[in-house]
Structure 1
Amino acid sequence: MKRFISRLEEAVNVVNLILHHIANIVLCFVMLLITFDVIGRFFFNQPITGSFELTELGSAILVFFTFAITHKYKEHIAIGFAVDKMPHRVRHIIEGCIEWFIFVVIAFMSWHILNEAIRTMGRNVTTSDLSLPVYPFIIIASIGSFVFALIALTSGLKHFVKAVEKT
């Protein structure tokens, strides 16, 4: 079981790292886009067409691609004052249950985001200025949230293994 968890965690971490690097590239792109848009607007009275749309779409990629890495390193807000005082096994069982709950909710959410992408693709929804199709960005959001769910799954499995190990 430990070997399975270890291999699953390695695979998910590779995908998570790739998404993190993509998010970094998108962040740099959005930063440069906004900078050049402001310069063009201020000095030349010529803003970049679609910069607002590209910023919105880039922000969506940033948010969904960084959920998983944030969860992996426990950089989100957590209140653990009650759980931290519990015995080792009880603490890991509670943490494991929380991680499994997160996994189920986020996996469910990922599935529905993917279904929304399919519906959006069928309706040919595009952005207003650049006429970019919206569904690829919704699919990207689904992928990012699914990787987040897998991070929660592996974390939950590790907590359950720690709960049954002899200390």
Structure 2
Amino acid sequence: MIVRLFSLIAGSLAALALLGMALLTLFDVVGRNLLRQPVPGATELTEIGLVAVTFLLYPLIAYRQSHISVDLFDDFMSPAVRRILGVIGNLLGGAVFAVFAWQLWKQADRLMGYGDVTSYLRLPLGPFVYFMAIASGATVIGFAVAAIATALGRDTTDDTGQIKSPGYE
């Protein structure tokens, strides 16, 4: 239930951020070409939107195991070997995102300490980097749950790619 709720909220927020970026780009182009007045700070807002979309979706991608993978040798391996490699892959992915979370948190602390802001809109950078660190931590959890599910021979998604409930009914 919590996983489905998180998936719904994160997916919806990512979709809204993507819609916002599309509308912002539309208004910026129309304003620049027809009115000779672009949207102030459009580039910075687009960058922030891209961060939001990307980092909101990382945990879902990790949990659903819908990241890019190459299965060149799957036909030559037994299911047990594929399962072991799946667990190892999820653990490695989790480890990489754990390092990301740690380093992003340290960077956010530095940015907050320095008072760094965006160049045009003067938005503080620290909160955005904290968000990236927290989302990276959530991605670690997604990889960990996927690793456990893979080790137990369960899949975290159904045939349509939708998230299964944690009980795997």
Tell me whether the two structures share a fold, i.e. TM-score over 0.5: yes
CA spacing shift, 1:74–1:160, aligned 2, 3 Å:
closer
Choose which of 22, 27, 36 in structure 2 pairs with 1:36: 27
Residue 95 in structure 1 maps to residue 86 in structure 2: yes
Tell me the distance in 1 between the aligned counterparts of 2:4 and 2:59. 9
**Equivalent residues in 2 for 1:120-131 (5 A)?**
120-131=111-122
Structure 1 residue 75, shift from structure 2 partner? 3.2
**Equivalent residues in 2 for 1:33-72 (5 A)?**
33-72=24-63
How high is the TM-score relative to the length of structure 1? 0.84
Tell me the distance in 2 between the aligned counterparts of 1:135 and 1:78. 33
Identity of aligned residues (%): 29
After superposition, give the CA deviation of every residue in 1:97-145 in whole Å (9 maximum; x if it has no partner): 1111111121121111111111111110001111000111111111222
Structure 1 residue 60, shift from structure 2 partner? 1.1
Structure 1 residue 13, shift from structure 2 partner? 4.6
Larger RCO (CA under 8 A, 6+ residues apart): 1
Residue 81 in structure 1 maps to residue 61 in structure 2: no
What count of residue pairs does the alignment treat as equivalent?
Answer: 154
Q: Report the equivalent of 1:4.
A: none
Tell me the distance in 2 between the aligned counterparts of 1:132 and 1:93. 45
Tell me the distance in 2 between the aligned counterparts of 1:103 and 1:84. 26
RMSD: 1.8
Structure 2: which 5+ residue stretches go unaligned?
155-169
